[in-house]
Amino acid sequence: MKIIDRYLLSSFIKNYLISLMALVGMYVALDMVFNFGNLTQARGHSVANLGLWRVMYDIADYYVYEAFFFYVQLSGVIAVVAAAFTLMRLSRFNETTALLAAGTPLLRVAASVIVAGIALNLVLLPMDQELIIPRMISKLARERGDVHEAADRTWAVRMLEDEYNGLFNAAMYWAPTASSAAKVRYLDVIERDADLRVSAHLYASAAQWNDSLKRWDLTDGLRVPIASPDQPTPAVATAVAAYSSDITPQEIALNENNDFIQFLSVARINQLLARPRSYGALDLLKARHQRFTQPVVNVILLLLAVSTVLQREPGRLKTAAVKCMVLCGLCMGSVFLAQQLAGSPPGHTMLNFWPALMAWLPIFIFGPLSAYLLDRVKS
């Protein structure tokens, strides 16, 4: 590796780390400003009773985990800012002029920055999305008002259909936490046969998810068959200790909030899509295609930035910076618009094809443009 490559690589890594801390810190600060009321509330206890230090600890605990998810959203911008500052500084202090005088093309100067940016996008981003974030789902799924231990997140579950045509209902559902499993109160499962006729009711005053056995352990469980009109004797209720079903806490969270999908790994998304009945199939498809296209979009943003800020003349840096912001903004805007359109396919026949098309459309537009602009760089 040549001296100039080592110099640019070290400069880019430093700028990348600075951009990472600055942008993620700014994201956290803005989120705290706009949601401060929710962050300081505590159900069951007043903030005064919890104490200032406890509140500050809970808020810090919330954002430590959220920072990994913020990085996913800002990964493309972080690389763009780091590359732009590295190359603009090179031109600003006339170091580019010295390299050109030595016969080094501008694209060769930027090669180490491009390679480092691509490597970081293809290593750190998948590692964060596939290995780190899926292990933090219980923390990331918290609402801002749920950062304190006194806050219990509950909701009612209505008519979730399982693999046996049963309908899962619960008056109250408690999401799992780091210290407790998921549980429900007043469980009612409507069992149906292959013709969707009601065959029995399964009741329980409470149930708790047993993750090792993949079932719900019931309290006062009772199964009451529904007698058919031609049945000579009345049906007899029987006690039931457990209920096995594909209605897991993850399925309940997925049905309640589609944002939950963003925390799942691609392997888990594929498992959910392979199931006979998958809640939020369209959102799952969007998330799966986005996992593959986001690193590519980040690389395109990097190439757009490099092709615009790589200038021979320091006097053109301001114009180049504005051009970089406009092009990168248009690219990110197209990605956002495509994600919104991906949720509204024009017909049922395009359900599987439409999310893929919307995920790749910005790449088809800005990918060739970034290659064209990079080829147009004057050396």
What pLDDT is recorded for position 150? 47
Tell me if 147 is assigned to some domain.
no
Q: What angle do CA 352, 358, 361 make, to 5 degrees?
A: 130
For residue 337, is pLDDT > 90? yes
The pLDDT of residue 357 is 92
On whether both 27 and 112 belong to a single domain, the answer is: yes
More confident residue, 109 or 38: 109
Do 7 and 134 fall within a single domain? yes
pLDDT at 273 over 70: yes
DSSP 3-state assignment of 86? helix
Residues 105 and 126 in one domain: yes
What is residue 312's DSSP assignment?
A: S
Average confidence score pLDDT of the chain: 84
Check residue 147 and give its pLDDT: 67
Q: Of the given ranges (20-29, 144-153, 224-233, 300-309), which has the lowest mean pLDDT? A: 144-153
Which of 281, 306, 336 is the C-terminal boundary of a domain? 281
Q: Which of 42-51, 120-129, 305-314 has the least mean pLDDT?
A: 42-51
Residues 60 and 133: their CA atoms lie apart, in Å, by: 17
| Higher local confidence (pLDDT), 257 or 233 | 257
Closest CA to 208 of 198, 196, 220: 220
pLDDT tops 80 at residue 319: yes
Q: Which of 84-88, 205-209, 225-229, 316-320 has the lowest mean pLDDT?
A: 225-229
In order of 148, 236, 346, the CA distances from 137 in angstroms are 17, 42, 33
Distances (CA, A) of 340 to 69, 80, 82, 350: 20, 24, 29, 16
DSSP 239: E
Q: Which pLDDT belongs to residue 279?
A: 60
As a whole number of angstroms, the distance between CA 307 and CA 302 comes to 9
Total domains in the fold of the chain: 2
Query: Which of the two residues, 55 and 167, has the higher pLDDT score?
Result: 167
Among 249, 68, 273, which Cα is nearest to 176's?
Answer: 249
Contact 299, 117 (CB under 8 A): yes
Pair (23, 117) in one structural domain: yes
Question: What local confidence, expressed as pLDDT, does residue 180 receive?
Answer: 78
Quick one: pLDDT at residue 107? Answer: 82
Pairwise CA distance, residues 23 & 339, whole Å: 23
Continuous segment of H or E residues that includes residue 333: helix 317-342
Q: Are residues 275 and 190 in the same domain?
A: yes
* Average pLDDT rounded to a whole number, residues 255-272: 80
Task: Look at residues 281, 303, 323 and tell me which one is the last residue of a structural domain.
Answer: 281
Instruction: Answer yes or no: do 65 and 118 share one domain.
Output: yes
Q: How many whole angstroms separate alpha carbon 146 and alpha carbon 148?
A: 6
Mean pLDDT of 348-358: 83
User: Do 276 and 288 have their domain in common?
Assistant: no
* Owning domain of residue 265: 152-281
In a domain, 213, yes or no: yes
* Last-in-domain residue among 281, 315, 347: 281
The pLDDT score that the predictor gives to residue 148 is: 62
Render pLDDT for 108-162 as a digit per residue (tens, 0 to 9): 888 889 999 999 988 999 999 999 998 887 778 777 766 665 445 677 888 887 8
Where residue 375 falls among pLDDT bands split at 50, 70, 90? confident
Terminal Cα-to-Cα distance of the chain (whole angstroms): 22
Q: Same structural domain for residues 275 and 288?
A: no
* Predicted pLDDT of residue 297: 95
Q: Which of 70-84, 155-169, 220-234 has the lowest mean pLDDT?
A: 220-234
User: Residue 159 has what pLDDT?
Assistant: 80
- CATH number, domain of 254, equals 2.60.450
Residues 119 and 208 in one domain: no
Taking the alpha carbons of 313, 317, 322, 325 in that order, is the dihedral positive or negative?
positive
